[in-house]
Chains A and B, each alone.
Chain A
Amino acid sequence: MNEGETLPEPEKGALPLEDVDRLVELLAESGVGEIRIRRGELEITVKAKSEAPAGSPVEPPAALAASQTATPRTEAVQEPDLAEHPVERNGSQHVVRSPVVGTFYRAPAPGEEPYVEVGDRVGAGQTLCIVEAMKLMNEIPADASGEVVEVLVENAKGVEYDQPLFRIRPEG
């Protein structure tokens, strides 16, 4: 809970929606399970929905890794099964997908700072990364504004068309 934040006195009998919104935000940001506020006769409780264990990274498609063992069966494993993708579990997140095939770079050039880190707020149109194809550095823009929740690909790894690159929690 953000210390020092005060909420305006609610009108008698009114349900201040903006305040509830703010409570929900605070809940998500802080990661606590429940916030309860009482003011006079009004009590508001906001509880977090129980989520699947956080922190399990999305596995990048194995398509681009050449198999180490020569098996006669094919190993055409590509796009992660969408049903298992975290987007399904948390519908308020937006996935930025690669519009080109190429190599994913987090920074404009070697040795420079990455364009974005987890936690950064980005605006729609802001460059998130580069995907290089045939020596062309394609700057990939965010197609939604919000907070970068997860970077889904390792630096300098190959990406396919439509491969998920970033998860963004949309705002505004």
Chain B
Amino acid sequence: MISKVLVANRGEVALRVIRACREIGIRSVAVYSTADMDSLHRLLADEAICIGPPQAAGSYLNIPAVISAAELSGADAIHPGYGFLAENARFAEICEACNIKFLGPASSVIACMGDKATARRVAAAADVPITPGSDGPCRSSAEVRRIGAEVGYPLVIKASAGGGGKGMRVVHAEDEVEAAYVSASREAGAAFGDGSLYAERYMEELRHIEVQIVADGRGRMAIFPERDCSIQRRYQKLVEETPAPELPEEAREGMKTAAAALVGSLGYEGAGTIEFVYSGGEFYFIEMNTRLQVEHPVTEMVTDVDLVAEQIAVASGEGLSVAGNVPSRGHAMEFRINAEDPRRNFLPQTGPVEFYNPPGGPGVRVDSHLYAGFKVTPYYDSLLAKLIVHARTREAALRRGARALDEFAVAGLETTLPLHLAILEDEDFRRGGVPTTFLAERELKSDGRGLLRLSTAGRSSPPS
């Protein structure tokens, strides 16, 4: 029975975990850097410990500091949130060694699925379709060329140790491989401390569809409706929705069955997401994230399940409150509001939030650590808030999203709010089922009234 959870994270996800703890009735411990002295997660937790300087390496990524804080506070469990140490197998192992329950799967599973090349092998072994490509890492550019000869070009070279577009290169012909391999490996090494790469067929037009599961480590699992996360900018998700629009039922069932098979083969405990690409009517396993994801709220809205509470219940030995295919009701969408200026090439923003008024009303949820007066610092990622809307149909969700985004007031720094409004007005987005090239193929323009609009090449902006 878990009685005190240390949240090894910050910002809105730390708040999310603390909120779940309060509802369950267990104590929460926040850790914070000196830059986060005035952070909401510090103020709302039952206890808080300053663990280091602003730089994440000295604080949120500092394993001895986090463990030390857990020992001092007597926390019997650690929730790693997402990012930072959430998929750090060594951290999970140290928690295990220190008798602190890591809220997630076993460290060996994290290590295995965290290496994307290995994860492909594991998926293949569970009869999950994988993108044609290398079996494990490519130890040389020659190996990549061999894969290219086998599956054809274009190929994509990817980092085994991480994602987000780092260490990723598309090669269209054999003579591009050498340079791409070297540069991708260097970038991956710098970003993840591991330069190993794998290669797979590159699909020009694909949709990113993922399946959320929670498993209790004893054979029971819950499979949630799929999420579509195809609206991305430079491989960072911006808008997510559930269920995926314009998706044939066969593909939906196929992905959920594949996800369940993979998770079943791992003896998995905790929450996890299996990511697929859907292209040309086929789906292929890409990777598995062995943690809670940023976009988890859309799933919570359509299923009425508290995923963080499920994580804690599973770790406590209490088991899941739902199992099998979890039914969903209505449609939900999430908009990531970042501290970036879409009018100036997404220039990162810092400084005090002078005015903050999030939207409200039916079917509106805002997960954010912002408040008027809070100072946004440059040390961490730019996510300020997640706006999630839920409605009976996708059309209604689009209307609700536009209404809520319009109402959302943040002054003192620029945000991506106007970008989301522009996305919601796009014809193709409204129709649903756009591929991941959606944003890249469009230009952001200010119309006569200073509002942002998306326009595709060859398509003129709507009259102002």
A residues near B (Cβ < 8 Å) are 63-64, 66-67, 74-76, 78-79, 100-103, 133-134, 136, 158, 160-163
Q: Are B37 and A134 in contact (CB under 8 A)?
A: no
Q: Are B72 and A162 in contact (CB under 8 A)?
A: no
A133 partner residues in chain B, CB cutoff 8 A: 64-65, 67-68
Is B52 located at the chain interface by the 8 A CB criterion? yes
Distance from B26 Cβ to chain A, minimum over Cβ atoms (Å): 11
In Å, the complex CA distance between A158 and B65 comes to: 12
In Å, the complex CA distance between A160 and B48 comes to: 9
Closest partner residue, chain A, to B31 (CB atom): A101
In Å, the complex CA distance between A102 and B208 comes to: 44
Distance from A148 Cβ to chain B, minimum over Cβ atoms (Å): 24
Is B73 located at the chain interface by the 8 A CB criterion? yes
In Å, the complex CA distance between A22 and B322 comes to: 78
Given A100-B65, A133-B65, decide whether A158 and B72 contact each other with a Cβ distance below 8 A: yes
Count chain B residues whose beta carbon lies closer than 8 angstroms to a beta carbon of A: 28
In Å, the complex CA distance between A65 and B420 comes to: 45
Q: Are A161 and B34 in contact (CB under 8 A)?
A: yes
Q: Are A79 and B50 in contact (CB under 8 A)?
A: yes
Which of B27, B47, B65 interacts with A101 by CB under 8 Å?
B65
Q: Are B73 and A64 in contact (CB under 8 A)?
A: yes
In Å, the complex CA distance between A28 and B59 comes to: 40
In Å, the complex CA distance between A66 and B4 comes to: 11
Closest partner residue, chain B, to A75 (CB atom): B46
Q: Are A76 and B74 in contact (CB under 8 A)?
A: no
In Å, the complex CA distance between A158 and B48 comes to: 12
Q: Are B65 and A163 in contact (CB under 8 A)?
A: no
Which of B43, B52, B67, B71 interacts with A74 by CB under 8 Å?
B43
Q: Are B50 and A67 in contact (CB under 8 A)?
A: no
Q: Are B49 and A74 in contact (CB under 8 A)?
A: no
Distance from B454 Cβ to chain A, minimum over Cβ atoms (Å): 43
In Å, the complex CA distance between A134 and B44 comes to: 27
In Å, the complex CA distance between A102 and B68 comes to: 6
B48 partner residues in chain A, CB cutoff 8 A: 63, 76, 78
Q: Are A160 and B49 in contact (CB under 8 A)?
A: yes
Is B51 located at the chain interface by the 8 A CB criterion? yes
Is B45 located at the chain interface by the 8 A CB criterion? yes
Which of B47, B51, B65, B71 interacts with A76 by CB under 8 Å?
B47
Given A66-B47, A75-B46, A76-B30, decide whether A134 and B53 contact each other with a Cβ distance below 8 A: no
A76 partner residues in chain B, CB cutoff 8 A: 30, 42-48
In Å, the complex CA distance between A20 and B42 comes to: 49
Q: Are B72 and A102 in contact (CB under 8 A)?
A: yes
Distance from B235 Cβ to chain A, minimum over Cβ atoms (Å): 33
Between A74, A75, A162, A163, the greatest number of chain B beta carbons within 10 A of the residue's beta carbon is seen for A74
A66 partner residues in chain B, CB cutoff 8 A: 27, 47, 73-74
In Å, the complex CA distance between A87 and B97 comes to: 41
Is B155 located at the chain interface by the 8 A CB criterion? no
**Chain B 29-85 residues near chain A, CB threshold 8 A:** 30, 33-34, 37, 42-53, 59, 64-65, 67-69, 71-74
B71 partner residues in chain A, CB cutoff 8 A: 134
Closest partner residue, chain A, to B66 (CB atom): A101
Distance from B28 Cβ to chain A, minimum over Cβ atoms (Å): 9
Distance from A2 Cβ to chain B, minimum over Cβ atoms (Å): 43
In Å, the complex CA distance between A163 and B64 comes to: 17
A161 partner residues in chain B, CB cutoff 8 A: 33-34, 50-53, 59, 65
In Å, the complex CA distance between A160 and B34 comes to: 11
In Å, the complex CA distance between A95 and B52 comes to: 17
Closest partner residue, chain B, to A133 (CB atom): B68
Closest partner residue, chain A, to B72 (CB atom): A158
Closest partner residue, chain A, to B58 (CB atom): A161
Distance from A157 Cβ to chain B, minimum over Cβ atoms (Å): 9
Between A64, A67, A76, the greatest number of chain B beta carbons within 10 A of the residue's beta carbon is seen for A76
Q: Are A100 and B68 in contact (CB under 8 A)?
A: yes
In Å, the complex CA distance between A67 and B48 comes to: 12
Between B46, B47, B53, the greatest number of chain A beta carbons within 10 A of the residue's beta carbon is seen for B47
Q: Are A74 and B44 in contact (CB under 8 A)?
A: yes
Distance from A110 Cβ to chain B, minimum over Cβ atoms (Å): 18
A74 partner residues in chain B, CB cutoff 8 A: 43-46
B44 partner residues in chain A, CB cutoff 8 A: 74, 76
Closest partner residue, chain B, to A62 (CB atom): B47
Given A66-B74, A76-B45, A101-B72, decide whether A160 and B50 contact each other with a Cβ distance below 8 A: yes
Closest partner residue, chain A, to B74 (CB atom): A66
Closest partner residue, chain A, to B48 (CB atom): A76
B59 partner residues in chain A, CB cutoff 8 A: 161
Q: Are A63 and B47 in contact (CB under 8 A)?
A: yes
**Chain B 4-37 residues near chain A, CB threshold 8 A:** 27, 30, 33-34, 37
Q: Are A101 and B68 in contact (CB under 8 A)?
A: yes
Q: Are B46 and A134 in contact (CB under 8 A)?
A: no
B74 partner residues in chain A, CB cutoff 8 A: 66
Which of B43, B47, B51 interacts with A64 by CB under 8 Å?
B47
B64 partner residues in chain A, CB cutoff 8 A: 100, 133-134, 136
A136 partner residues in chain B, CB cutoff 8 A: 64
B73 partner residues in chain A, CB cutoff 8 A: 64, 66
B43 partner residues in chain A, CB cutoff 8 A: 74, 76
A100 partner residues in chain B, CB cutoff 8 A: 64-65, 68
Given A102-B68, A134-B68, decide whether A162 and B50 contact each other with a Cβ distance below 8 A: yes
Closest partner residue, chain A, to B42 (CB atom): A76
Distance from A119 Cβ to chain B, minimum over Cβ atoms (Å): 30
Closest partner residue, chain A, to B43 (CB atom): A76
